[in-house]
Amino acid sequence: MTVGEGEDPVRPSRPLEGEDLETTRWEDARHWMSIYADLLEFKRGILGRVKRDLSNLLPLAQKAAAADLEIIEAQMRGYEARLDLWYRRLWDLHGLWLDPAGRMVRHKGREAALTKREFQLLQFLLDHPYRYYTAPADPEPGMGRTGPVSRRGTQLRAPPPHDPQRPGNPG
């Protein structure tokens, strides 16, 4: 179908030629994410230039340019939607998998068993992205300790230095 046969040229989620969301390769998802990120950056540059120069135009030209701005913004919304789709697809293919039944986490072919508390905290943090918690904060009151992570799990100690005067100190 070509434009003019009923297809909207700025439809929000129109894929580009060659896109295949059914791909099983995470590298393809990364590729399309970089393409959409580049397109968004390019459109932001155009948008910035047009907005900056808009006031220098005659009123009639300003009206025409304002219509162009709407088209560019609609295209950008479509690119953002496609970027989000590919981001989710990348996570499906190569991202983090949680298995609540076995409290397992899998990432890039590796897996680890978590304690009940660790699994709850990871699930909570994934359900609330882009948020920051300080140590005294309790993301889910009533779950026991305060703070999202046990101090015990975040501190590593260096082995004591070797001291020949102290027997039994392997240092």
pLDDT in tens, 41-88: 999 999 999 999 999 999 999 999 999 999 999 999 999 999 999 988
Tally of CA atoms within 13 A in the half-sphere of 45 that contains its CB = 6
pTM score over 0.85: no
CA distance 53 to 35: 27
Neighbour-count burial of 38, counting CB atoms closer than 10 A to its CB (0-12 exposed, 13-18 middle, 19+ buried): exposed
Residue 31 CA neighbour count, 13 Å, CB half: 10
Is 153 a residue whose pLDDT tops 50? no
Q: Which two tokens stand for residue 60?
A: 């009639």
Q: Which residue has the higher pLDDT, 61 or 143?
A: 61
Question: Tens of pLDDT along 100-141?
Answer: 888 988 887 788 999 999 999 888 888 777 677 776 655 555
d(CA 85, CA 88) in angstroms, rounded, equals 5
Question: 126 vs 152, which has greater pLDDT?
Answer: 126
Terminal CA-to-CA distance of the chain, rounded, Å?
A: 74
Q: What is the largest CA-CA distance in the chain?
A: 90
What HEC string does 100-151 produce?
A: CCCCEEEECCEEEECCHHHHHHHHHHHHCCCCCCCCCCCCCCCCCCCCCCCH
Which residues touch 116 (CB under 8 Å, ≥6 apart)?
A: 103
Mean pLDDT lowest among 10-24, 66-80, 85-99, 143-157: 143-157
Name the band, by pLDDT with cuts 50, 70 and 90, for residue 5: very low
- Give me the pLDDT at residue 126, please: 81
CB 90 within 8 A of CB 29: yes
Contact call for residues 77 and 69 (beta carbons, < 8 A): no
pLDDT band for 99, please (50, 70, 90 cuts). Answer: confident
